[in-house]
Amino acid sequence: MELYVLRHAIAVTRGTEGLRHDSDRPLTQAGHAKLRRVVRGMGALGLSFDLILTSPYLRAVQTAEVVAAQLGGKNQCERTPQLAPDGDPRALVRLITSRSGDEARVLVVGHEPYLGELVSVLVAGDAYPLIDLKKAGLCKLATPALRYGRCARLEWLLTPAQAVRMQ
């Protein structure tokens, strides 16, 4: 399995007037623009996904929808509370394995520090974050069999600036 981990793009700041909940924060115009450039870089790498799972928070959903629209697979976006900042990573792993096979390419879109902790568990077996995903940062993990715990290797980690240069 190829598991791609993408942090949402730049969103409006917390406490923005008119937004009642953190989950309601949308991407900024600059965030959308940068994300579109990052996704073009993803396309230059030949990336495509069999399944896209996203946090239900608006900024993550918008990020996932841009990826799906530019790389295909819009009907494959699925919101899951397991990718919310307080989601359960064990349940996320169960969801991914139930929805995909060993040869699948799965993209998950969410938040820090949750994503860094998830990557750390899958690569090193410990939730202490080994990486810090920048907004719109992307990494690729490979595993013959996904499970919660040390099961994957980190193939690469791209900052948004690196992804943009891939175009």
Contact 84, 56 (CB under 8 A): yes
Exposure string for 117-132, b = 16+ CB within 10 A, e = fewer? bbbbbbbeeeeebebe
For residue 94, is pLDDT > 60? Answer: yes
User: Among 27-31, 65-69, 70-74, whose mean pLDDT is lowest?
Assistant: 70-74
| CA dist., res. 159 & res. 85, Å (int) | 21
User: Domains in the chain, ordered, with CATH?
Assistant: 2-165 (3.40.50.1240)
Token representation of residue 151: 């099961």
For residue 74, is pLDDT > 60? Answer: no
pTM of the model: 0.95
